[in-house]
Amino acid sequence: MSSELKELRASNDALPDAAELQRRLAAEGYLFFKRLVAPEKLWRLRQEMMSVIQDVGWLIAGSDPMQGIADINMRYTEGDNEYSAGYAEVYKIENFHRSAHWREYLEVVEKMTGSAIMPHPQKVARIWFPKYTEHTTPTHQDFVHFQGSFDNITCWAPIGDCPVALGGLAVIPGSHKVQRVLDHHFSLGAGGLIVDETAHEDIDPVWHTADYEAGDALFFPALTIHRALPNYTDDRLRLSLDNRYMLEGDRIAKHMLQPHGPSQLTWEEIYPHWQREELKYYWRERDITVVERDMSFSEKGFAEALALARGGDEDALYMLKRAVKNGKDGLNLAAAVTLLNELGVEA
């Protein structure tokens, strides 16, 4: 592990003590558990998901899908239509959605929050290619993307082993104590927004992570600052779960009731592939408060990208060209087209 990265504190010793879990979460802004779930459950899920990923052409043909050996000529990321086409096939997998409802996750989130909880309907899989480090998920707080409530809990879990070199998650302990949403700015990477953790006097920017193993899980609230680490391997795909839990009766943003955006799917396109019924539209019977999504975060990032692109910033130009090429909804694509035309840049 790099000298710039510190080890996460494992809280397995506190699992029987809900009050201690709540104290640690309040003090440190995360809870990390080694092998919270039996590794075999993750390995089975990995087999199923990686087999589909191989079928869509992202792994070397004929290789063992469990090894996750990526075809780096097929490198895509969120925002690319090619990524969405492959991700959609993975997103239909019933057991992937069911994993967020595993008893081990539900019970520990109930303990750390002291409340009845519900998994967000929008489940997220992260599929990250090697040799594509410029698209690594940037430093951010989850609230700007998922919204609803500061009390939402994220659970990140590797689907298989994930040493530091493969690009697991890192957090800044105590950063949630800012008790506010920090200014985020344009960036490449999933979500397209970044926060400068060094610009705030009330944040000690020391990053903590782990050489994760199958069954490990990292939990943190919506204001904890975190980021993905780059995938520095030569040819291995990083696969992980990235799901959220809310308190019963709390707020949820409307878009979190829909499938993850990069899948470009509806529930009606997902559910025919399932064998069981009980988790279909399960949230409709639960006590939740639905609120509108605040678009100001993404709108600000897009406006910054326009301004940066006008000044020749290569990352901003790349993002605008990709947005126009892929016809992404929710962005002012007309402004992007106009600017690219002014600059003589072909989308």
The domain locations on the chain are 5-292, 295-347
pLDDT at residue number 323: 86
5 residue type, one letter: L
Which pLDDT does position 1 carry in this prediction?
Answer: 61
Distance CA 36, CA 76 (A): 31
Say how far apart CA 286 and CA 289 lie, in whole Å: 10
**Res 102: pLDDT:** 98
Q: How far apart are CA 164 and CA 5, in angstroms?
A: 10
pLDDT value of residue 3: 63
Q: What is the structure's pLDDT at 330? A: 56
Q: Residue 213: how many CB atoms within 10 A of its CB? A: 15
The residues pairing with 238 across neighbouring beta strands, listed in sequence order, are 128
| Angstrom distance (rounded) from CA 149 to CA 253 | 8
Weakly modelled stretches of the chain, pLDDT under 70: 1-3, 328-331
In this structure, the strands spanning 153-158 and 238-247 are antiparallel
- 9: DSSP letter: P
Residues counted in the chain: 347
Which pLDDT does position 327 carry in this prediction? 77
At residue 325, the pLDDT reads: 83
The C-alpha atoms of residue 214 and residue 190 are separated, in whole angstroms, by: 23
Class for domain 5-292, per CATH? mainly beta
Q: Are 224 and 29 in contact (CB under 8 A)?
A: yes
- Identify the DSSP state of 138: P
Report the alpha-carbon distance of residue 206 to residue 235 in Å, rounded. 29
Angle in degrees, CA 198, 218, 232, rounded to 5: 65
* Eight-state DSSP code of residue 41: H
The residues, any chain, with a CB within 8 Å of residue 237's CB and separated by 6 or more, are 50, 53, 58, 59, 68, 69, 70, 127, 128, 129, 130
Q: What is the pTM of this model?
A: 0.96
pLDDT at 331: 61
Q: How many CB atoms lie within 10 A of CB 187?
A: 23
**pLDDT digits over 173-225, tens only?**
999 999 999 999 999 999 999 999 999 999 999 999 999 999 999 999 999 99
**φ/ψ (deg, to 5) at 342:** -60, -40
Residue from 140, 142, 148 nearest 247 by CA: 148
Which pLDDT value is given to residue 345?
86
Structural contact between residues 149 and 222, judged by C-beta atoms closer than 8 angstroms? yes
What pLDDT score does 79 carry? 87
* List of residues 6+ apart from 297 with CB closer than 8 A: 144, 145, 184, 193
How far is Cα 300 from Cα 297, in angstroms, rounded to an integer? 5
Copy the structure tokens of residue 151: 């009390």
Ramachandran assignment for 211, one of left (phi > 0), alpha (psi -120 to 50 degrees), beta (any other): beta
